[in-house]
Structures are given as C-alpha cells and as structure tokens.
Amino acid sequence: MEEKDISQAVISRLPRYFRYLGELRDEGIQRISSRELSELMHVTASQIRQDFNNFGGFGQQGYGYNVEYLYDEIGKILGLDSSHSMIIIGAGNLGQALVNYMNFRNRGFYFTAAFDINPAIIGQKIGDVPILSMDELPEYIRIHETDIAVLTVPKQEAKEIAKTLVGGRIRAIWNFAHIDLPVPPEIQVENVHLSDSLMKLSYNIRRAGNKE
Ligand code: ATP
C-alpha cells in the first residue's frame, strides 16, 4: 500500500475508525458503506472518503467497504499488527494504574519494567512487572530495545529523565508529565496532558452554565 505523508489530523482520527470497525466486526457485519459509517460515527461521508483516500481508498466499491479488511488495514497502519515493549518511569498512582490497565496488553502493548526513586517501592512488583531503581535505567535501556518509555513523574523531574532516555534504545516517549520535552526528532513524543483536558471540560461546564 502506498503511504503518502499523512497529516496528524488524519492519523488522530484512525483510532476511532479502528474502534468502530472492531465493534462492527464483532457484531458480524461484513460490509458497510461510507454513508452508513458516517451516520454511525457522526462524521461526514466525504470526510471518511477523504481520510481513506490517503491510504489508497481501501477498495470502496458500489456496495461499500469490507469491514474485516478495513479493520485489519487500519490496524496495520497504526502498527497494531506487531507488539510494543514499554517501560514506565514513575511508579506512583498514575504509573501503577497504567501498568495495571489490561487493555494495553490486549492490544500488544506490554510493560517489561517500571523505574522509580522511592526506596519504599523499589524491588516490589506491579502485577508481574518489577519496579527497579532509577540507577538501573541507563544500563537497562542500553541493553533492552524498548519501543515506548512512559513518563509519569512530577513535571520538574521529566526533562532530566528525558535526557537519560535519549541516550538509550528508546523509540518513543508517552509523556504524562505536564511539560514539553527536549528530545531529538527521531524520538517520537505523544503528550497526554490530563489537566489540560480537565480544564477544557471545566470551561465547557462553565459555558453551558452561563447559557441557562
Ligand atoms: P505517590 O503518591 O504514590 O507518590 P503520585 O503519582 O501521586 O504517587 P508523584 O509525585 O506524581 O506521585 O510521583 C509519581 C512517581 O514518580 C512517584 O512514585 C515518585 O516516587 C516518582 N518519582 C519522582 N521523582 C522521580 C525521579 N526523578 N525519577 C523516577 N521516579 C520519580
């Protein structure tokens, strides 16, 4: 499949297509037209066709898309046909919750180790994932090729840790620390700023309240 330079806006819509198609597949639905998919997902049919045209259109014919094929192809585009190794830095409340969240493992994302500076938890395990000391991190990422490092440390710690990560065999950082990270372009960064999202919700609550 030919893949042009795809905009991040299109990429950010793919997981939602993937989720809906997975549900349709589980319901045993084999074909769906862009119009039906558009009604289900509340996006325009032309948006769907434009998005899919970035990837060659996925063989839409008069009677619609093949659900299983489309699901598989979008999964491949998202890299979900191979597994991803992950480590987590900061095994506090959020870090432990992420490691325990089984849905990641079901999708092929698995944690190999957690790292922390708190001596009270170093040596313990989150499920079957060992919590190691931060002193062990540089050696660990030198030896173990790791797809994703998840950063769930206080923001004032995150930059220094990112520098250590850059020296290792890490391909990407999933950053929950509320700070932009200085990393070279070959390391992919996805920021998840939970408090930004909550503030947006707070704004919308206030705005909705004002309308009454
Ligand atoms: P807790 O209350 O269990 O500490 P938390 O998620 O509320 O959890 P945070 O202060 O956000 O606490 O810290 C998250 C985790 O990051 C903690 O387990 C903490 O020990 C760890 N941590 C803090 N600084 C560093 C660091 N420099 N390197 C690695 N881990 C760190």
Q: Quick one: pLDDT at residue 168? A: 86
Cβ of residue 92 lying under 6 Å from some atom of ligand 1: yes
Question: Any idea which residue has 């585009």 for tokens?
Answer: 77
Measured from the Cα of 91, ligand 1's closest atom is 18
For residue 197, give every residue at least 6 positions away whose Cβ sits within 8 Å of its Cβ, in sequence order, or none. none
CA 115 to ligand 1 center in whole angstroms:
10
In this structure, the residue with its CA closest to atom 12 of ligand 1 is: 92
Query: Three-state SS for 188?
Result: strand
- Residue 86 tokens read as 């992950």
Cβ of residue 118 lying under 6 Å from some atom of ligand 1: yes
Of 49, 43, 53, residue with least CA distance to 20: 43
Entry pTM? 0.88
Cβ of residue 89 lying under 6 Å from some atom of ligand 1: yes
In this structure, the residue with its CA closest to atom 1 of ligand 1 is: 92
Question: Could you report the per-residue pLDDT of 4-52, keeping only the tens digit for each?
Answer: 678 889 999 999 999 999 999 999 999 999 889 999 999 999 999 899 9
Cβ of residue 155 lying under 6 Å from some atom of ligand 1: no
Measured from the Cα of 153, ligand 1's closest atom is 16
Rounded Cα distance between 44 and 36, Å, is 10
Rounded Cα distance between 33 and 118, Å, is 54
Q: How far is CA 135 from CA 36, 155, 165, 175, in A?
A: 54, 19, 13, 20
Residue type, 191: N
Question: Could you report the per-residue pLDDT of 86-95, keeping only the tens digit for each?
Answer: 999 999 999 9
Is pLDDT above 90 for 58? no
